Structure 1
Amino acid sequence: MKNISLILTVLAMLVSSCAVVRQGEVGVKSKFGKLSPDVADAGLVGFNPFTSRVIKVPIRTVNQEVKLNLPSKEGLTIDSEISILYSIEKQQVPFILEDVGEDYERVLILNVFRSAAADVTAQYMAKDMHSGMRSEIEKNIQDRMHESLRPRGFVIERVLMKSIQLPVELSRAIERKLKAEQEAQQMEYVLDRERQEAERRRIEAEGTRDAQKILAEGLVREIIELRSIEAFRELANSPNAKIIITDGKTPYLINSDNQ
């Protein structure tokens, strides 16, 4: 029994003196409150549980979601839900823990985000946050955060405005405006189609007029007389009885009977 107890005690000490650092994390040893400058990669990390501990810090991309009231240029308050995608540079982890502590996300990242977001959105109208300018606002917030946090070892990968809740009256006004714009576009389409149809008819009328003009200009007296002679010959060669009155130039058929 004593041997078994001894073995169990040794195993317990071995287990308690090892920390498992998972993929996407690094470990930093803290001995009597002093941080080691070395960074441990994923795997088992040994340490003295009586004097030391291993602080685990994720270096993979972290998604931090924040609900925040944002100011607009016209002084409105916009309810928003925003995601911050960030990661930490591996070699900067000991310095971050030393300068900021383990609660770096609340102490540093979220405070910088709130300041940057308020500064950026205050330059835009509320409707801009609900339009195609949203990506521009996101990029400006990201750039401001990156400028402040990059020297500290943080990489701000993206800032995403997932949800924007505009005041009710403003939402209705935007909906009315969009509806009016759609109706105006529809009317412009109808008018453009009518203009095209009118242009088609005008071109068609001009073509008919030009054809008649050309035909009228080509019907000179000599041509009319020639066509009359040709018609007279066809009548003369016909076996049917006819009464033809002519002035010697143009024949006029006034009666025709089939015999």
Structure 2
Amino acid sequence: MAIYTAIIAAIDRRPHGPVDPETAAPILTRSEQVRTWTYSRHIKVSPPAISELIDRHLMKGLLQEIIRTTGRENIVSNELLAYAQDNHEQSLFRMVMPPELLDEHFPPGFRSVEHDAVTHVHAAVRRQLKQVRHKLRNVLMTGIVPNGKPSLPNIPNIKNLSRLVWRHLFPIHEQSSNAIVDREVGGLLRIRIAYLRLATLVNYYAVGSRHISQWHQIDTRLRAHRALTNNFTNHWHRLLCAKDATLFGHEPALVDLDPTLITVPTVAEVNARIADTNAA
């Protein structure tokens, strides 16, 4: 409501009737219009830019909400190959800016790659995706890091963690039954969530990694694995599930968790498992 009030007030302040060219406010340049294009709930508009803002339907939806929503949807997509590596074609950064959204919701000049527009939009997208990743990290750390509640819950097993993640990413399912959520999650996503938790905890407990993003570490590992065979990936998945079940299957309290056992299966461990399977 405040947004519309600001627009109406600004329109009312515009001169009615002939305007003296000598005293008229200067028209905003293209780059200035781009810089005034903001994504917060406290949108600031200047009179010369109002007509363009209205024409492009900015007020139909806040771009930051669109970015966060598409970010939450795509962060569990099977098509996603990079969580934080912006220059990857199938990165989260690229996937929240599909062509169908650009013309309607993004500011002037972005599609035509004008420097100011691109810089402004990319900075806004990165801010929102950082928030999306951080909130997902908080869910993955359930039972490990205090979340503001009076007592720390036990660490959930993978089925319960997957439900927490899905309901967090898709609020429409907050009241859905566990059976419905389980069908939506599926086996492959459950494996991915198990990996994300293990990788996040490895980063959390490693003293040397405190200032390194776990998302960059995750991207590095996934990029290396894409060069390996499907057979390797299948065995890696089985080791991930076994490790997750051993650590969290009984939903331990944090005090009962041994951080030294929290590891992600290595290439050597996977190859050893493959060799054992072939020898059997």
Instruction: Give the TM bin, normalised by the shorter chain.
Output: under 0.3
Structure richer in strand, relative to its length: 1
TM-score after normalising by structure 1: 0.26
Larger RCO (alpha carbons 8 Å, 6+ apart): 2
Structure richer in helix, relative to its length: 2
Q: Which has the larger radius of gyration?
A: 1
